[in-house]
A and B are shown apart, each in its own frame.
Chain A
């Protein structure tokens, strides 16, 4: 089980400090590659759509996973800001 996988945790308000992995849910088609490229930041819901952790990307490992997910998403639904 990944560190930030609970849906409850993902719904907490986004920490305003620092950069975050962000999802445009209207572009996402639930392809699911992100959950493999960033297992510590992305969980998947019942229907296969990603639930993104709200933690700021302060740790290097998180940052690297987030960048991989942004690059790997075939729908370009993810961004870091």
Chain B
């Protein structure tokens, strides 16, 4: 099997893998695969943006979600087993119910900040399907009795901000009324998309994660309740509200990292990872990857043979101790070194620490130093045991899960690339090219 999709120009990628693209019958979010640059999301091709008129022709008017219709929507979200697509995969209906218990007058936030530098699915949705996301947001505002809505984006994601602003203007011009919705731009940092960073900002604080005693009530006492849903999650809420639970097709959006571009592809739960790469990845040497980074930079490395024939189904993955996370699929090519790649990502994540919690500030940096030593073939035996000890000491001790994700990624590398660890420990480095396969913001570190 080769992974060259018959020299299809990347600007006209084929339709998504899996179920048919028919709104109303297993309705999906996208009508094709989107091709985006390796870093940034300022230009994308492959998916036709849907304006308000096209959106309403495809799906009909948005049902108002008040009273019994609100309860019905929450029940439908539960029926389709919708989970948070920012990475946590927490059941959306349960999250909504804890907001409902907190009472009306809160704020609903669409989180489109997409901190994962490898992922572009939220930008693709907000740029090409803004009205699905906004239908989800308006439905959520109605259903939870919220006072207003926020679309939370990264500062610098101009194409996305423009698309959302345009979509909001279209709705106003069409006389579609809703509670006020504003676009907010967060500092362009990895942790700006963390739920507690958003809530803290709305309460007048800095855009940094914080510790919460009760995860079901992440807002401060005396402040209004805040519901934060990822952009893909909210697009799915919009879709469920428009087509109903029976018309909804369970799919996932994946961002597949290629050498010079990324492909955002919508995948049914019946598709295998092999089928996804056959469509959305161009192998530089015609060979399958050695491993893939799954979920995000805080996800896990998985040997390719272990996952190739598995379905893209988070339930199945959970049984394997894995998660689709934020939907990153980063193939490792034969000429690359997984350890070197992982050390680079770990350093990036360590640099992106909010610098609030000691274990993250000092522990993550210490592990990143040892990881660099291993890459360079100068990690001593005591350094190797120090690395294991530090991982144990730091995990689970931050206010947010940032250090946990970073360490999960690196420890999965130590496991999956065991043979490379052995080689590097012998004082030999490998002859892998010294470039990063996974995109990193250029200002940070090459």
Contact residues of A with B, CB < 8 Å?
7-8, 11, 22, 24-30, 45-49, 51, 79, 81
Do A24 and B399 touch (CB < 8 A)? yes
Instruction: Give the segment of B120-128, B238-246, B341-349, B388-396 that binds chain A.
Output: B388-396
Of A24, A47, A51, most B-chain CB atoms within 10 Å: A47
Of B210, B356, B359, B394, most A-chain CB atoms within 10 Å: B359
Q: A25-B211, A25-B397, A26-B211 are in contact. Are A47 and B357 (CB under 8 A)?
A: no
> Is B7 part of the binding interface, using a Cβ–Cβ cutoff of 8 Å?
no
Name A11's closest neighbour in chain B (CB-CB). B396
> Is B20 part of the binding interface, using a Cβ–Cβ cutoff of 8 Å?
no
Do A25 and B392 touch (CB < 8 A)? no
Do A22 and B358 touch (CB < 8 A)? no
Do B358 and A49 touch (CB < 8 A)? yes
Query: Chain B 165-183, CB within 8 Å of chain A: the 1/0 string?
Result: 0000000000000000000
Do B392 and A48 touch (CB < 8 A)? no
Q: Give B218 Cβ to nearest chain A Cβ, in Å.
A: 13
Query: Chain B 200-244, CB within 8 Å of chain A: the 1/0 string?
Result: 000000001111010000000000000000000000000000000
Do A49 and B359 touch (CB < 8 A)? yes
> Is B362 part of the binding interface, using a Cβ–Cβ cutoff of 8 Å?
yes
Q: A11-B395, A46-B390, A81-B213 are in contact. Are A25 and B357 (CB under 8 A)?
A: yes
Query: Chain B 395-419, CB within 8 Å of chain A: the 1/0 string?
Result: 1111100000000000000000000
Contact residues of B with A, CB < 8 Å?
208-211, 213, 354, 356-360, 362-363, 366, 389-390, 392-399
Name A49's closest neighbour in chain B (CB-CB). B358
Do B211 and A51 touch (CB < 8 A)? no
Q: Give A54 Cβ to nearest chain B Cβ, in Å.
A: 10
Partner of B359, one of A22, A24, A29, A45: A45
**How far, in whole Å, are A8 and B393 apart by their CA atoms in the complex?**
8
Name B363's closest neighbour in chain A (CB-CB). A47
Q: Give B169 Cβ to nearest chain A Cβ, in Å.
A: 39
Q: Give A17 Cβ to nearest chain B Cβ, in Å.
A: 16
Partner of A47, one of B210, B213, B358: B358
Q: A25-B358, A28-B357 are in contact. Are A45 and B363 (CB under 8 A)?
A: yes
Cβ–Cβ < 8 Å partners of B209 in chain A:
26
Cβ–Cβ < 8 Å partners of A48 in chain B:
358
Cβ–Cβ < 8 Å partners of B395 in chain A:
11
Cβ–Cβ < 8 Å partners of A81 in chain B:
213
Do A22 and B213 touch (CB < 8 A)? yes
**How far, in whole Å, are A38 and B324 apart by their CA atoms in the complex?**
41
**How far, in whole Å, are A71 and B389 apart by their CA atoms in the complex?**
31
Do B399 and A26 touch (CB < 8 A)? yes
Do B392 and A28 touch (CB < 8 A)? no
Cβ–Cβ < 8 Å partners of A25 in chain B:
211, 356-360, 397-399
Name B196's closest neighbour in chain A (CB-CB). A26
Cβ–Cβ < 8 Å partners of A7 in chain B:
392-393
Cβ–Cβ < 8 Å partners of B393 in chain A:
7, 45-46, 51
Partner of B358, one of A8, A11, A30: A30
